[in-house]
Amino acid sequence: MDNLPEISCDLLVIGSGITGMAAALFAANLGIDTVQVGRAGELGFASGFLDLLGVHPVEDGRIWDRPFDGIGALVAEHPRHPYAFLDKKDIQSALSGFVSFLAAHGLPYYTEPGKNLAMITPTGTLKTTYAVPATVQNGVRALAEKASCLVVDFHGLKGFSGRQIVETLDKTWPNLTTRRISFPDTSGELLPEHMALSLESPECRAQLAGEIAPHIHSAEYVALPAILGMYRPMAVFEDLQKQLNRPVFEIPTMPPAIGGLRIKAAFEKALPRLFVRTHYQQKITAVDKQGRNGFRFDVGRDHLRRVITAKGAILASGRFIGGGLTTDRKSVRETLFNLPVFQPVTRSEWHQKSFLDPRGHPINRFGITTDDQWRPLNNNRHPAIPGLFAAGSILAHQDWVRQKCGAGLGITTAFAAVNAFQRFISG
């Protein structure tokens, strides 16, 4: 390691999913000298909706219209849930800071303060979420009004079916119709990314509007899959609305989803301008813990190898998909620091007997246990490593998929972990 290029910083953020991006943003806003290292991240799997809390208890499937009331009920029953370490003011500050950043970089979001929103998923079910992109906002209103709406589908687009959406919502929203048309730019395979980039061309938008217009008839709204631009979605959205003379809204597609890719692109462009030194598509291969003196990380391979020294680190590496956790036949392990993972003694307790058990499976709640300062704990319930903090889905005692709290969990715990790190270096 001694002959490798060396980078020094105050804070290393480990991860490039929504938690890692949020942590890097919040650290930069505090003037903390920050480096971020991450592989692909999981934002390509994200719809772009920002959940806070939608469901509790999971086994009852109770949906909460007011997420803060739901959080209160959740932490009263599950005092080890990560939300139990956060107060309402910090949650609001974290979400406000994150949404304001996105708006400043061309991705405005719509919220109704203190309330959840309902919106359509790619399969035609309804989802409860806290904030949606402005390109989706008209869909929230159209659903609430049960207004007449044309759902536009495309020949050759996989993972999106207007017919399925209309049939699934037939009883809830009877005024939906659908029409499958051809996309103007059909060079190459028809993928959401290709379509989104093509629609940044005015000529392509004009052709698409010409294809849609004859099928609108009396429909009050027009819904499309989330393809309205990658880097300039609001310009694409506003122009298409003007040409169709109807309110337009997007419905997410199956992954890779444009909503998440837009967030990823905004952060990757903006964080370096905030003086965050980013190293994406890189993996930490070794770490040397140096007590109160911080860490030395060996990053990358071959000609890209380097050493990063940091006073502290935030572990935002995610769970199994992100590579933060791994498993063998006997146990689940944290992959970088070998931290203890909350889990039962025997593998037979990882899952319920029924795959579709409404309680979900215990393995979904495995993860890293922290104290109220977001410091991972060792087996003696003491902070495991000085200067190390954890945030996001790697945390134990939560089931973000079923509780509908994934983005909120990542953003708010990143905010809290960054503030805890600042207290650590200040004290």
Tell me the per-residue pLDDT of 215-233, one tens digit each, with 9 for 90 and over.
Answer: 999 999 999 999 999 999 9
User: Residue 243: which CATH number?
Assistant: 3.40.50.1860
- The reply to whether 246 and 265 lie within a common domain is no
335: pLDDT confidence band, cut at 50, 70 and 90? Answer: very high
Last residue of a domain, one of 218, 251, 284: 251
Q: 231 and 276: one domain?
A: no
For residues 161 and 181, state if they share a domain: yes
pLDDT tens across 176-210, in order?
999 999 999 776 678 999 999 999 999 999 999 99
Same structural domain, 273 and 422: yes
Which of 8-12, 51-55, 108-112, 191-195 is the least confident region?
Answer: 191-195
Mean pLDDT of 40-54: 88
**One domain for residues 274 and 246:** no
Percent of the chain whose predicted confidence (pLDDT) is above 70: 98
Mean confidence (pLDDT) of the chain: 94
* pLDDT value of residue 83: 98
Question: Of the residues 219, 251, 283, which one is the last residue of a structural domain?
Answer: 251
- Range name among 7-11, 332-336, 355-359, 402-406 with the lowest pLDDT average: 355-359
Residue 46 lies in a domain: yes
Regarding whether 287 and 417 lie in a shared domain, the answer is: yes
How many domains would you assign to the chain? 2
State residue 148's pLDDT score.
98
The bridge status of strand 6-14 relative to strand 306-315 is parallel
Give the per-residue pLDDT at 347.
Answer: 86
Q: Are residues 233 and 286 in the same domain?
A: no
In a domain, 270, yes or no: yes
Q: What is the pLDDT of residue 1?
A: 42
For residues 260-288, give the mean pLDDT: 95
Q: Check whether 173 has a pLDDT greater than 50.
A: yes
Look at residue 58 and tell me if it is in a domain: yes
Report angle CA 232, 99, 312 to the nearest 5 degrees.
110
- Amino acid found at 221: Y
Q: Are residues 18 and 74 in the same domain?
A: yes
Of residues 110 and 303, the one with the higher pLDDT is 110
Confidence at 2, pLDDT banded by 50, 70, 90: low
119 lies in some domain: no
Look at residue 109 and tell me if it is in a domain. Answer: no
Task: Quote the CA–CA distance of 389 and 139 in Å, as a whole number.
Answer: 39
pLDDT score for 356: 83
One domain for residues 201 and 296? no
Mean pLDDT across the stretch 35-47?
A: 85
pLDDT digits (tens, 9 = 90+) for 234-249: 999 999 999 999 999 9
Answer whether residue 127 is part of any domain. Answer: no
The range of the structural domain enclosing residue 222 comes to 134-251
CATH number at residue 69: 3.50.50.60
Share of the chain above pLDDT 90, in %: 84
Regarding whether 272 and 235 lie in a shared domain, the answer is no
Q: Which two tokens stand for residue 373?
A: 């300062």
Average pLDDT for residues 145-160, to the nearest whole number?
94
Is residue 186 one of the residues assigned to a domain?
A: yes
Q: Of the residues 226, 251, 276, which one is the last residue of a structural domain? A: 251
Q: Residue 29 and residue 18: Cα distance in Å, rounded?
A: 16
Does 115 map to a domain?
A: no
Do 310 and 348 lie in a common domain? yes
Shared domain check, 216 and 309: no
